Chains A and B, each alone.
Chain A
Amino acid sequence: MEIKMLDLTKIFVSKDKREVHAVDHVDLTIPSGKLIGLLGPSGCGKSTTLYLLAGLLRQTQGQIYFGEDEVSDMPPEKRGIGLVFQNYALYPHMTVRENILFPLENLKVEKEEAKKRTIEMAQLVGLGEMLDRKPKELSGGQQQRVAIARALVKKPRVLLLDEPLSNLDARLRLQTREEIKRIQRETKITTVFVTHDQEEAMSISDEIVVMKDGVIQQMGEPQHVYDHPQNLFVAQFLGTPQINVFNGVVKNKKIYVNDMFISKTTLEDQTVKVGVRPEGFIVDLEKKSEFKFEIDLVETIGRDTTLIIEVPGNEGGLLDKITFKAIVDASLKIKAGDWVHFNIKPEKMYLFDLEGKLLK
């Protein structure tokens, strides 16, 4: 089931009459059968988007289509969606079995059939042995899987997950993430997965949607978005360590940072922001490159060495005081205090204008 949002807008009016544009003119098409990661910082409108899709909130403006059906004015119980809440919202007085059975009972599914499906679903999420426990007798990860089972058992047209992993510890998080991916592949339900963890979104999603202040910044396959960010926000939001951003100038088709030549460009003369991914630095062993720094700190983890460089900034104001990170090969044996010359991989460098828009 394809999900289409047209000009979708949600404005909250707070008590002091201030308007919050939680979702702002969103046009988005989510392809059928895909797992989409909706990603953005806290308060950017992810949950609101999800609740609009679910029908728990009413949009201020715009339309929502599930396939051919317009569902904009449909109450949640008619939309045929499964929703996993941020803190699961399992019914505390019902057992796992009753929790999973509940939607089927409401849909008046025939009793034997409902029982069968409940057990199958419990097995799919690996909870076949725990059907008669109460939610509070389960671990966080198990509760989360009950919530998924409850959402999936009614064979929804769309599955919505609101930061389902945020309450889990690191290991359980990885494990459950894989499980969600597997269940989604097996069931082929169009799924929207909300998270503010970029790594989580990148690893689980077929496509990611990056959101900021209620506005969609970019959508695409995780690696593609990572490699081709359309603005500085997206570039900074994806990837750890974060992308390094330098103030630069373009003069006579050449880019300079701190008066050091970096590379050539086709752009006109202007001031720019130069984004370089930490893995975009190549150590120039011949020391020909002008782009050189004294290393402040070296961290080696496994194969990679992270060079941490503090740039004091210069009085002219071309370069702000920044700390940047470069990931290089550990075999180079660089030490703190060394001067290192860098070349930059062109595909790991992006130029943005001062508003943060990508310059092509």
Chain B
Amino acid sequence: METKNNLKAWLYLAPMLILMIVFTFYPLFNAFIISFYKDYLPLANDGAGSITGYTFANYSVILKNQLFWQSIKNTFVLALVSVPVSILISLFIAVALKSIPKLKGFFQTIFFLPYVTNGIAVGMAFAVMFHRDYGLFNLVLSWFKISPIDWIGGTASWWAQMGALMIFTIWESLAFKILVFTSGLQNIDKQYYDAAKIDHATKWTIFKRITVPLLSPLILYISITSMIGALKAYNSVIGLFGEKLGGQPYSMITIVAFVYKYRSDFSFQGFYSYAASAAIILFIITLIFSLIQTTVSKKRIHY
């Protein structure tokens, strides 16, 4: 009986498992191997590729690469700021939506639009809005008598560029989070809110002490997935800055963009393995982040 059931379970899982092996585990494993190849030329020998041995050099070269550290810095700053900020904003919006049931559907549609729109297209729209001379952002700033800022152009400071990238990233990621939080809020028993009112709680206290803790499993889920998403940022940079990857070349490069750049750079030997080692480093970073988040939350979410 046991084994029979087991067999059935495996059978049900098989399609998914096969897809995962072909498209996730195998490439991951392959990248891992490639990251140790010496002088790898993937197109040599009619596409069979050629190597001259195995080495750790790819990693040490990468770790000495200025651009790699730039990509690490950009990715980290982007992820560590945009993830918590977007979670907070989407939580507030979801809670606010709950208190206006009549307009909820309307606003949900509005907030959901970015989700169903192509990221690069939205990025281009944002690029226009961030334009120094006729962008919307500077227009708004001018109302407050703030002189125009070059957000994404050739003279833009690193902070201005990062700011633009963050605003865009946060905006783009709000839709899904709002959707998840809205449905999460619907699952919280209304009686807790009634009880809290009876217990003299203010709106803020209710948010802090009731809503957030009761949503904490969802908040954890969202923060892990969006942290992973943010660490893989690439689309947004392309959308906002184009192939230059920044106001100045590569100034907003991210880890994935770095991987991509080396993967498609055929100007010297070993490029491919550099990309692979950078990808593996990204994988390890992502893994560490997820592990930290799960352990921290295991201590703090006890319900």
Please give the residue numbers on chain A whose beta carbons come within 8 Å of chain B beta carbons, in ascending order. 54-56, 75-77, 81-83, 85, 87, 89-93, 102-103, 106-107, 134, 150-151, 154
Q: Check if B64 is an interface residue, CB within 8 A of chain A.
A: no
Instruction: Select from chain A the residue with minimum beta-carbon distance to B200.
Output: A106
Is B303 within 8 A of A75, CB to CB?
no
Chain B residues contacting A75 (CB-CB under 8 Å) are 197
Q: Is the CB of B198 within 8 A of A107?
A: no
20 other A-B residue contacts (CB within 8 Å) besides A56-B197, A76-B197: A56-B194, A77-B198, A81-B198, A85-B191, A85-B194, A89-B194, A91-B192, A91-B195, A91-B210, A92-B303, A103-B199, A103-B200, A106-B199, A106-B205, A107-B200, A134-B302, A150-B199, A151-B198, A154-B199, A154-B200
Query: Roughly how many angstroms separate A56 CA and B201 CA in the complex, as a whole number?
Result: 14
Q: List 17 A-B contacts (CB under 8 A).
A: A56-B197, A77-B199, A77-B200, A81-B198, A83-B195, A85-B191, A85-B194, A89-B191, A90-B195, A91-B192, A91-B195, A91-B209, A102-B201, A103-B200, A106-B202, A107-B200, A150-B199
With CB as the reference atom, state the residue of chain B lying closest to A57.
B194
Assess whether B214 is interfacial by the CB under 8 Å rule. yes
* A92-B194 Cα distance, complex, nearest whole Å: 14
B205 to A, closest residue via Cβ = A106
Tell whether B148 is near chain A: CB-to-CB under 8 Å.
Answer: no
Interface centre among B192, B198, B202 (most CB of A within 10 A): B198
Per-residue 0/1 for B208-222: is the Cβ within 8 Å of any A Cβ (1 yes, 0 no)?
Answer: 011001101000000
The smallest C-beta distance from A167 to any residue of chain B, in angstroms, reads 14
- Note all chain A residues with C-beta closer than 8 A to B2: none
- Write the chain B residue with the least CB distance to A151: B198
Contacts of B213 in A (CB 8 A): 93
Q: State which of B194, B199, B302 has its C-beta within 8 Å of the C-beta of A93.
A: B302
Chain B CB within 10 Å, residue with most, of A82, A103, A107, A151: A103
B290-303 CB mask vs A (1 if < 8 Å, else 0) is 00000000000011
Residues of A within 8 A of B202 (CB): 77, 106
A85 touches B195 (CB 8 A): yes
B199 and A102 form a contact (CB under 8 A) = yes
Tally of chain B residues near chain A (CB < 8 A)? 20
- Report whether B195 and A77 are in contact in the complex, using a CB–CB cutoff of 8 Å: no
A76 x B191 contact (CB < 8 A): no
Q: Is B46 positioned at the interface, with any CB of A under 8 Å from its CB?
A: no
A107 and B198 alpha carbons, distance in the complex (Å)? 11
* Neighbour of A54 across the interface among B198, B200, B209, B302, CB < 8 A: B198
Which residue of B is nearest A92, CB measured? B303
For residue A72, give the distance in angstroms from its CB to the closest CB of chain B. Answer: 17
Across the interface, which residues of B come within 8 angstroms of A82, CB to CB?
198
Chain B residues whose CB sits within 8 angstroms of the CB of A150 once the complex forms:
199
For the complex formed, measure the closest distance between the CB of B201 and the CB atoms of chain A, giving whole angstroms: 5
Residue of B with least CB distance to A82? B198
Closest 8 CB pairs of A and B: A89-B191, A103-B199, A106-B200, A89-B195, A93-B303, A93-B213, A76-B197, A77-B200
- Choose among B196, B199, B213 the residue with the greatest number of A CB atoms under 10 Å from its CB: B199
Which residues of A are found within 8 Å of B214, using beta-carbon distances? Answer: 92-93
- The docked-state distance in angstroms from the alpha carbon of A55 to that of B194 is 10
Contacts of A93 in B (CB 8 A): 213-214, 216, 302-303
CA A171 to CA B289, docked complex, whole Å: 52
The residue in chain A whose Cβ has the minimal distance to the Cβ of B206 is A106
The answer to whether B191 touches A102 (Cβ under 8 A) is no
CB distance from B216 to the nearest CB of A (A): 8
Report A-chain residues with C-beta under 8 Å of the C-beta of B200: 77, 103, 106-107, 154
B residues 210-261 in Cβ contact with A at 8 Å: 210, 213-214, 216
Instruction: For residue B260, give the distance in angstroms from its CB to the closest CB of chain A.
Output: 43
Chain B positions 155-192 with a Cβ under 8 Å from a chain A Cβ? 189, 191-192
| A134 pairs with B303, CB closer than 8 A | yes
In Å, the complex CA distance between A151 and B196 comes to 11
Residues on the A chain within 8 Å of B192, using CB: 89, 91
A140–B209 Cα distance when bound, in Å, is: 24
Contact B197 A77 (CB under 8 A): yes
Known: A89-B189, A91-B210, A93-B214. A76 touches B303 (CB 8 A): no
B185 to chain A, nearest CB (A): 15
Q: CB-CB < 8 A to A89: which residues of B? A: 189, 191-192, 194-195
CB distance from B219 to the nearest CB of A (A): 13
Cα A82 to Cα B197 in complex, Å, equals 11
Most buried by A among B194, B201, B213: B194
Let me know if A87 and B198 touch, CB within 8 A.
Answer: no
Cross-chain contact A83 with B198 (CB below 8 angstroms): yes
Bits for B270-303, please: 1 = Cβ < 8 Å to A, else 0: 0000000000000000000000000000000011
**Residues from 4 to 54 in B contacting A, C-beta threshold 8 Å:** none
A244 CA / B201 CA spacing, docked (Å): 51
Residues of B within 8 A of A54 (CB): 198
CA distance A134 to B213 in the complex (A): 14
Nearest-Cβ distance from residue A83 to partner chain B, whole angstroms: 5
Least CB distance, A208 to chain B, in whole angstroms: 24
When C-beta atoms are compared, the residue in chain B nearest to A153 turns out to be B199
A154 contacts across to B, CB distance below 8 A: 199-200
Shortest distance between the CB of B220 and any CB in chain A (Å):
13
**Docked pose: A278 CA to B213 CA in angstroms:** 55
Question: Using Cβ atoms and an 8 Å threshold, which residues of chain B touch A90?
Answer: 195
- Nearest B residue (CB) for A77: B200
Nearest chain A CB to B187's CB is how many angstroms away?
13
Q: Which residue of B lies closest to A79 (CB)?
A: B198
